[in-house]
């Protein structure tokens, strides 16, 4: 995960801001969090190391923008255009922008935004029903390619099913509030949003319990260090099509371990590049083969419900097809079983990149 904070400081605008962690942290060092200033990392997406490589790379996974402020803050209007320039330049990264100011979105987008940018996900937060009913209708009406809802800090029971029903929300995250003055989060509220997500087939992530967690009517104080791990241990996150509790909060496997596991499969190790395949790879070059792989993945694997899933990848006819069978990236069932990427959801940019890397790694090993 990459974090890019182009500016620091924010203005409180809703109940979820009452115990804002930016204010808490700044207070502790005598700083005024309501002062908004550009940071030294303003141009982080353009920054390079001594080797001339970008500091932020695809390996960082999702890049979260503005975690100590709000990207659509009025006070930052003068700087935002430059940020869009950097986001536009770095299409190799996946940016997530979390905001409580979705009502400013249209005033803040660049001229060439169109119906959204593929590598930008906008996350609208809603901590209570009032904010959900104000922000989410607006959120759904805006030109955005990827939308997520974040109910954190969850302050009461919130019903969002009618918004999920639109099919436009890709993911929901829920969590309690941290800090000394944290307001309690009731497990029943978490459960209700989870039920709504399951009914509407939307991935649901229970991120953290918060500092005060109510379960079965009893309130528990949870140490900061345990708030995320307790939520994880509950196995309460949900990814459509994924029934194995161990895989519910999914992580793609470490590549060395993956190849070790694949080497133990009689079926997977039965695939090899022929001399003809190798000659084809040499003739085209690895970069072109990578483009072919991306194209196949985009068309045959990436949709939420791919056509003829299970038999969409031929066993021969292109080196990439063989690589897909050899690496268990041939259909969504194999992707779920071997790579923990749940079926029944559209693949995101990071997942597609990961699958391409696995395929290309196998081809390189074969050459």
Residues that bind ligand SF4 in the complex, under the rule CB under 6 A: 10, 12, 16-17, 20, 22, 69-70, 100
Q: Could you give the CA distance from residue 33 to residue 18 in angstroms, rounded to a whole number? A: 13
Shortest Å, Cβ 23 to ligand SF4: 6
Find, among 193, 213, 103, the residue nearest to 149 by Cα: 193
Cα–Cα distance for residue pair 8/114, rounded to 1 Å = 28
CB of 260 to ligand SF4, least distance (A): 43
Read off the tokens for 53: 């490589």
Closest approach of ligand SF4 to the CB of residue 70, in Å = 4
CB 268 within 8 A of CB 328: yes
**C-alpha triplet 199, 204, 208: angle, nearest 5°:** 140
Closer Cβ to ligand SF4, 69 or 209, answer by number: 69
Q: Cα(8)–Cα(75) distance, rounded to whole angstroms?
A: 11
Tell me the C-alpha to C-alpha distance, in Å, between residue 323 and each of 28, 143, 255. Answer: 54, 37, 15
Closest CA to 178 of 2, 25, 5: 25
In the three-class reduction of DSSP (H, G, I as helix; E, B as strand; rest coil), residue 307 is classed as coil
Least gap, CB of 65 to ligand SF4 (angstroms): 12
Q: How far is the CB of 8 from ligand SF4 (least distance, A)?
A: 10
Nearer to ligand SF4, 128 or 356 (CB): 128
Asked whether 220 and 210 are in contact (CB, 8 A), the reply is no
Neighbouring-strand partners of residue 214: 186, 219
Q: Closer CB to ligand SF4, residue 34 or residue 282?
A: 34
Give the integer Cα–Cα distance in Å for 114 and 110: 9
Residue 125 or 237 with smaller CB distance to ligand SF4: 125
Closest contact distance (angstroms) between CB of 125 and ligand SF4 is 8
Q: Which residue carries 């100590």 as its tokens?
A: 68
As a whole number of angstroms, the distance between CA 257 and CA 275 comes to 28
Nearer of residues 177 and 353 to ligand SF4, judged by Cβ: 177
Nearer to ligand SF4, 179 or 240 (CB): 179
Complex with ligand SF4: residue 17 or 140, whichever CB lies closer: 17
User: Smallest distance from the beta carbon of 40 to ligand SF4, in angstroms?
Assistant: 19
């Amino acid at each position: 995960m990459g974090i890019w904070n182009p500016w620091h400081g924010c203005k409180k605008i809703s109940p979820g801001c009452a115990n804002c962690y930016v204010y808490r942290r700044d207070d502790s060092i005598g700083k005024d969090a309501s002062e908004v200033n550009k940071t030294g990392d303003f141009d982080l997406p353009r920054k390079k190391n001594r080797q001339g490589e970008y500091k932020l790379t695809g390996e960082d996974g999702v890049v979260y923008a503005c975690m100590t402020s709000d990207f659509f803050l009025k006070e930052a209007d003068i700087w935002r255009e430059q940020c869009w320039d950097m986001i536009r330049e770095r299409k190799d990264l996946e940016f997530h922008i979390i905001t409580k100011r979705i009502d400013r979105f249209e005033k803040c987008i660049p001229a060439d935004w169109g119906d959204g940018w593929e590598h930008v996900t906008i996350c609208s937060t809603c901590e209570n029903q009032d904010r959900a009913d104000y922000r989410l209708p607006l959120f759904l009406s805006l030109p955005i390619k990827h939308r997520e809802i974040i109910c954190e800090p969850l302050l009461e029971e919130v019903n969002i099913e009618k918004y999920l029903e639109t099919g436009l929300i890709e993911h929901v995250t829920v969590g309690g509030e941290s800090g000394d003055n944290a307001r309690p989060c009731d497990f029943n509220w978490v459960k209700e949003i989870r039920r709504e997500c399951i009914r509407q087939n939307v991935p649901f992530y229970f991120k953290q319990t918060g500092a005060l967690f109510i379960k079965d009517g009893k309130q528990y104080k949870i140490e900061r260090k345990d708030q995320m791990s307790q939520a994880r241990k509950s196995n309460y996150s949900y990814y459509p099509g994924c029934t194995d509790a161990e895989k519910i909060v999914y992580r793609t496997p470490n590549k060395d371990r993956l190849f070790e596991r694949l080497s133990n499969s009689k079926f997977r190790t039965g695939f090899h590049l022929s001399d003809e395949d190798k000659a084809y790879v040499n003739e085209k070059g690895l970069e072109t083969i990578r483009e072919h792989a991306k194209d196949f993945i985009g068309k045959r694997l990436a949709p939420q419900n791919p056509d003829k899933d299970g038999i969409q990848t031929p066993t021969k006819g292109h080196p990439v097809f063989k690589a897909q069978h050899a690496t268990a990236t041939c259909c969504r069932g194999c992707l779920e079983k071997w790579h923990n990427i749940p079926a029944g959801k559209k693949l995101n940019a990071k997942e597609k990149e990961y699958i391409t890397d696995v395929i290309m790694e196998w081809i390189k090993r074969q050459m």
